[in-house]
Structure 1
Amino acid sequence: MGYRLVADAAMVAHFAFLAYLTVGGFLAWRWPRSIWVHVAVAAYGLANVLVGWPCPLTHVEDWGRSRAGEATLPATGFIDHYLAGVVYPKEHEVVVQVLVAVVVLVSWAGVLLRRRRG
C-alpha cells in the first residue's frame, strides 16, 4: 500500500503542477511576489515541451506503481496517459498547449497592469 500511495501522491502532484502552470499566474494578481515562482514553473513547462525530457514526477509515479505491482505509465508519459485522448482529443495537443500559453500570458499581463496601477 505504501508504494501505491507514493504513486498516487505523484499523480496528484503532477495534476496540481499542471493546474498551477496553467492558472498560477492569476494568484500573482493577489500575491504579486508569487509571480517569480510562476515564471519558473512556466519556464520549466516550456522547456519540457521544447526539449521533451522526462518529468521527475512521472519517474516517481512509475517507481511507485512498479513496486506496488501495477502497470507503469506508457513511454509517452503522464499527459498522454491521463489527459490526451481523455480530457481533449490527442490530435489537439498543440492547440491545448497554445491555449495554456495564452492563459499564462493573460495572467502575466494582468500582473503587469495591476503593478502599473498600484
Structure 2
Amino acid sequence: MTRKTHPYSLGRTLLVGLATAVAFALLSLFFLYMQAQETQHRLAGEVVSVTADSARIQDAHGEITVLVVSADAELRDIASFREMEIGQHVMMRGSFVDDGTFAVDRMRPLTERPAE
C-alpha cells in the first residue's frame, strides 16, 4: 500500500490527539487566569448592624466586614439597604477599598427578615 491510501498512521493520529489535548489544556489555563484577574469579589453573611450610610456583616468564619453601599448599587429584592434587619443573611458583589471596607456593586438578601 502506498502512503496516499493510508494518510493517517498511528503516529500521526497520536500526534494530532496530543496536540488537541495540549491546545484545550492551554485554553483552560487561559480562562482560569482571566477569571483570577477579575477585580470583583463576593461576600455573604449575616447583618450585624445597619446605619444611615453603611452596614456590618459577619461571615461564616466570624469576621466582620463594613459595607459601603453607593446610591448606584444594584439592589435586588430589597428597596434600600437600610431596610435590612439584624439577623438577615445577604450576599453581595463589589470590591475592597483601601481602608478595609467593602464597596457594594450588587446586593440581595438570601433570607427573609427574621421573625419578631
Q: Do these two structures clear the TM 0.5 threshold for a shared fold by scoring above it?
A: no
Structure (1 or 2) with the larger CA radius of gyration: 2
More strand by share: 2
Q: TM-score range by the shorter chain?
A: under 0.3
Q: TM-score, normalised by structure 2?
A: 0.22
More helix by share: 1
Q: TM-score, normalised by structure 1?
A: 0.22
